[in-house]
Amino acid sequence: MNVVRVIFLDQNVVVDVCECMRPSKQHGREPQRELRSEIERCVDSGIAIFPYSEVHLTEAANVSDPESRSEQIQFWEKVSRLYRFHDAKAIESIQLQTILKHRPVRFSRELAIHRSQLTFEQELPPPDPDAKAKRAKSFRGLVEYWASKASEDLTEKIRHKEVEGMIRLIFEDLSNLLKTGDLPLNRIFSKHNELHSELCWHLREHGSNTKTVFEDACCCLKDNALKIPSLLIDFVGTEYLAEQFATDAKFRKKVENAEADHDANDLEAAAHWFPYADFVFADTKMVTFLFPKLRSAVTRAGSFEISAEGQFYFLRAQSSSIFSGN
């Protein structure tokens, strides 16, 4: 009997296997159609499912061409079998609760995947045409900062700066709320505020003084942030990306060549969904550079391990024959 495998598909792969099905774009795309056929065969045969994530939903929601959007919806509703990865906030919360209960962190797929009661189309968020540009602008600002630093100012230091920045944002949000009486929903339900809120409840339940619980939770988060796998992977990944732009980098990358939005999505996927998948189908940069380095780095730095056994990372350009067999 076949064991159903969980496979994460990079968004670029999704675009490839969807665009090749459009009548106006079929010419010269036989490998992509072959891959699409193999993916669907795996699903039909019960060999694999391909859960989608919030990044896939956001990307599909912002596709402006109606035919492309429709093709992605049709694809996901078939290959996901309605299974999807929990949102990043939920995964971080699960990991935090595991740490607070002094349990070992496990990357069991049952902890990160659920069957949605809605179709992929019904889950699509409202389009935000400016989202990509906003993300890219924010990330590019960081790249410009990194490009003024030497490696010694970045390596094993950015992760701690990221933690400090997260705590600073929590205090800034509280300050803005007290001053204006208002805070945008995306700030209230941001990932860092969700973690802080979880810690506030935990500390209250364990006798923390109500008057100091806000600050106590900030201190607790600062002390434990890098024990949360998703945060550590995200921050260490940011470190590796930054090192490419350092003034003394051996093969220094130019700021204008930074793939800001693409890198941001890759880090989100690597931090929250890669560890829970049996297989990952991603691009060359992720497969050969970023994730192998991340696996070894987070194992050294954290109290958990991302096993290399049974987990394979496929190049996007590889033959679809990788899906054949069991």
In the chain, what are the domain boundaries? 5-87+97-127+274-323
Residue pair 85/276 in contact (Cβ under 8 Å)? The answer is yes
What would you report as the CA-atom Rg of the chain, rounded to the nearest whole angstrom?
21
Residue pair 104/219 in contact (Cβ under 8 Å)? The answer is no
Q: Cα angle vertex 119, ends 32, 318, to 5°?
A: 20
Q: Which residues contact 17 (CB under 8 A, 6 or more apart)?
A: 32, 33, 35, 36, 39, 75
Q: Helix (H, G, I), strand (E, B), or coil: what is residue 250?
A: coil
Q: How far apart are CA 272 and CA 91, in angstroms?
A: 7
Instruction: Give the tens place of pLDDT for each residue, 174-215.
Output: 888 888 887 776 677 788 999 999 999 999 998 888 889 999
Q: What is the pLDDT of residue 217?
A: 95
Q: How far apart are CA 67 and CA 57, in angstroms?
A: 16
Q: How far apart are CA 286 and CA 10, in angstroms?
A: 10
Mean per-residue pLDDT, 71-95: 96
Instruction: Give the tens place of pLDDT for each residue, 243-259.
Output: 888 999 888 888 877 77
Q: How confident is the model at residue 319 (pLDDT cuts 50, 70, 90)?
A: very low
CA dihedral over 65, 67, 73, 78, signed as positive or negative: negative
Is pLDDT above 90 for 106?
no
Q: Which of 60, 186, 62, 234 is nearest to 133 (CA)?
A: 62
Helices (H) and strands (E) in the chain, counts: 15, 6
Is pLDDT above 90 for 49?
yes
Specify the pTM.
Answer: 0.86
**Burial grade of 95 (CB within 10 A; 0-12, 13-18, 19 or more):** buried
Is pLDDT above 60 for 237?
yes
Q: Which residues contact 27 (CB under 8 A, 6 or more apart)?
A: none
Q: Which of 221, 133, 214 is nearest to 174 (CA)?
A: 214
